């Protein structure tokens, strides 16, 4: 007998669903960006680190928006 998935689904703008696992993956990617940015700064690549920071800021804001939608949907 097939077992139903108990993973919560997150609805966001568009027709697709986002699972809690996918949201966690975005959080992990954001943390990894921070490590990469620190390495770039250590290597003296300030301009590239700045661009990574902007991408990390965007990803962080998007994750926060998705989490708020996830809480409202639950």
Domain that holds residue 27: 20-73
Q: What mean pLDDT value characterizes the chain?
A: 82
In a domain, 11, yes or no: no
In a domain, 3, yes or no: no
Average pLDDT estimate for 19-34: 92
Tell me the three state secondary structure of residue 38. Answer: helix
48 and 40 Cβ atoms separated by less than 8 Å: yes
- Confidence at residue 71, expressed as pLDDT on a 0 to 100 scale: 79
In a domain, 28, yes or no: yes
| d(C-alpha 31, C-alpha 13), whole Å | 24
In a domain, 44, yes or no: yes
Q: How many domains does the chain contain in total?
A: 1
In a domain, 59, yes or no: yes
In a domain, 12, yes or no: no
Could you tell me the two tokens for 29? 């990617």
Which pLDDT tens digit goes with each residue over 62-71? 999 988 887 7
0.75 surpassed by pTM: no
Whether the per-residue pLDDT at 60 is higher than 90: the answer is yes
Tell me the three state secondary structure of residue 10. Answer: strand
In a domain, 35, yes or no: yes
Whether the per-residue pLDDT at 11 is higher than 80: the answer is no
In a domain, 61, yes or no: yes
């Amino acid at each position: 007998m097939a077992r139903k998935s108990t993973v919560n689904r997150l609805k966001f703008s568009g027709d697709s669903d986002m699972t809690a696992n996918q949201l966690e993956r975005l959080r992990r990617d954001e943390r990894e960006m921070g490590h990469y940015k620190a390495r770039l700064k250590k290597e003296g690549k300030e301009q590239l680190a700045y661009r990574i920071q902007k991408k990390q800021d965007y990803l962080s804001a998007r994750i926060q928006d998705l989490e708020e939608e996830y809480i409202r949907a639950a």
